[in-house]
Chain A
Amino acid sequence: MGEWRVAIFHARDGAVYATQARCPHRGGPLADGLMGGSTLICPLHGWTFELTTGGPLMGDRGIATYPVRLTATGDIMLTLDDGGDARRRKP
């Protein structure tokens, strides 16, 4: 998204989540993390986050989350803070 990096997660139960791309601990790539249910574990040091709220489960800081949904045609609709919409085809 231009300069803006967002991590997008598609859970086994069909839920979609979008968060900041980097872990608040040491900048780890959250998109490379381990996800289960609505929990995300950062691959570098195991900081863990609840994806529905961005709240920390292990570690002392949370992450920003963005409203996101899948459309019927499989596009990803993501709302970023600057008020713009981004339309992307689901990979």
Chain B
Amino acid sequence: MGAVLLGETSKATYLMQAFDRNTPLPEERAALLFDIGAPVALGVADLPDDTQICNCNGVSKGAIRTRVLAGTRRAKSVMEATRAGMGCGACTTSVMQLVEHLCGGAVEGDPSIHYYVPGVPLPKPELIRAIAERELKSVSAVFAALAGGREDAGSKPGLASLLRTIWAGEYEDERDARFINDRVHANIQKDGTFSVIPQIPGGITSPAQLRRIAEVAETYQVPLVKLTGGQRIDLLGIKKDDLPHVWRDLGMPSGHAYGKAYRTCKSCVGTDFCRFGLGDSTALALKVEGRFKGLESPGKMKLATAGCPRNCSEAYVKDIGFVAIEGGQWGIYFGGAAGAHVRKGDLLCAVDNHDDALRYAGRFIQYYRENAKYLERSYGFVERIGIATLRAIVVDDREGLGAGLEARLQASIDAYVDPWQEAMAPVTPNQFASHIPAMALAAQGREKGKG
């Protein structure tokens, strides 16, 4: 027995589950194919216990039920104990619904869900105010002033991100508050080696650049050279000790492919060569990357420009997308996504020049940096705030926030430094050491003792 759905396919999952589990059929048989009135989707309450709720960590409904019956009645605590929702986070809503259902609706109230980070008992707006008023410029200062001096490991990266956003060049950088990726400016891999992705704006390279990358790959015997979804080249399997040498030999700036920050602006070919090109997508992408490279943000930001609505660079499903349309215009889209979550961006407006496109993108980026929860991607933020409100703030400047947003954004842009410059001057001794042999340390010690 089988079926093929053409056109309206949203019921495919429901049909497969109904078949597998002999679910009773709905009275209105047409509801098998369409949602008539209220959707007849399978809620978490109806799922059998062996259903895998969390695919990243393999957590079943039964495991969650066991935890709740054992007395854990806060959704966040259940997630921490079972690891459900602690991977990509796509199942978080299902997990929370399930916990609520299993508690008979009587879930324990958890004020910490409103905190910006769990270790400091303040929601983001109050936290920002306290940081500004008390001039707290380091993570340790925040813990001392606002958390009774108690350090919380998991809160550190979020606080570091917020402080750098607020203070820009004045931020007091404490290296122990950085996640490893941000301590060594590379993405840690499963075996403790690292991935190195240099900046390749607009996905445009050259024979000389390719030759240099190839030489580095050979010199360091890089196990895997791979093209990325962001239109860049990835050197994988690089030992921590080799990182500064690789950067020096590449002579290219960091692509920031590892942190909670602006990542890339992809581009299609556009009017440079494409017969369908309506706008210069490569030029705009280069300007975008030049302006926003490496900016800290609550969640990573992936952008794209498309030279026409065929959208070869997938600009509709980016945090910010720019799509050229007939008439010399660019449609600007916010809040798209094409990862664990898929969402088409909302249209903000159309502009007829690059400068306005950059200005609106910049205002949105700064507003997102200042108002989103840590790890809240733009697709969640835009849904939460609403595109109408964002349009009022970014385009119409209805609340008069535009100038302030632009000024604070510019301060951060002005403070930008390519982190791979640390190849020339490491910030801490042993920053890139994968291990420190005891005898070498002792010898270093004896040397130091002499001097």
Residues of chain A within 8 A (CB-CB) of B119 are 36
Q: Give the docked Cα–Cα distance between A27 and B155 (Å).
A: 24
Contact B180 A48 (CB under 8 A): no
B143: nearest chain-A partner, CB-CB: A36
Residues of chain A within 8 A (CB-CB) of B445 are 75, 88-90
Contact B151 A29 (CB under 8 A): no
Interface string of A21-55 (1 = CB under 8 A from B): 10000111101111111011101101010000000
Q: Say whether B229 faces chain A, with CB atoms less than 8 Å apart.
A: no
Q: Give the docked Cα–Cα distance between A33 and B188 (Å).
A: 11
Residues of chain B within 8 A (CB-CB) of A5 are 435
Given contacts A44-B188, A91-B429, contact A34 B441 (CB under 8 A): no
Q: Give the docked Cα–Cα distance between A61 and B150 (Å).
A: 25
Interface residues of B in 200-244 (CB under 8 A from A): 240
Residues of chain B within 8 A (CB-CB) of A27 are 191-192
Residues of chain A within 8 A (CB-CB) of B429 are 91
Residues of chain A within 8 A (CB-CB) of B446 are 89
Interface residues of B in 144-158 (CB under 8 A from A): 150-157
A28: nearest chain-B partner, CB-CB: B192
Residue of B83, B188, B190, B434 touching A26 (CB-CB under 8 A): B190
Given contacts A35-B153, A36-B151, contact A44 B190 (CB under 8 A): yes
Q: In the assembled complex, how far is the CB of residue A72 from the closest CB belonging to chain B, in whole angstroms?
A: 14
Q: Give the docked Cα–Cα distance between A89 and B446 (Å).
A: 8
Interface residues of B in 116-160 (CB under 8 A from A): 119, 140, 150-157
B430: nearest chain-A partner, CB-CB: A91
Q: Give the docked Cα–Cα distance between A43 and B434 (Å).
A: 14
Contact B153 A58 (CB under 8 A): no
Q: In the assembled complex, how far is the CB of residue B405 from the closest CB belonging to chain A, in whole angstroms?
A: 31
Residues of chain B within 8 A (CB-CB) of A36 are 119, 151-156
Residue of B81, B430, B438, B448 touching A1 (CB-CB under 8 A): B438
For the complex with contacts A34-B180, A91-B429, 5 further pairs of A-B residues with Cβ separation under 8 Å are: A28-B192, A29-B434, A34-B154, A48-B154, A91-B441
Across chains A and B, which 5 residue pairs bring their CB atoms closest together, nearest first? A89-B445, A36-B153, A36-B151, A32-B180, A37-B151
B→A interface (CB under 8 Å): 80-81, 83, 86, 119, 140, 150-157, 176, 179-181, 183, 188, 190-192, 240, 429-430, 434-436, 438, 441-442, 444-446, 448
A→B interface (CB under 8 Å): 1, 5, 12, 21, 26-29, 31-37, 39-41, 43-44, 46, 48, 58-59, 75, 86-91
**Can you give 22 contacting A-B residue pairs, CB < 8 Å?**
A12-B140, A12-B151, A26-B190, A29-B192, A29-B434, A32-B180, A32-B183, A32-B192, A32-B240, A34-B157, A34-B179, A37-B152, A46-B86, A58-B81, A58-B83, A87-B442, A88-B441, A89-B444, A89-B446, A89-B448, A91-B429, A91-B430
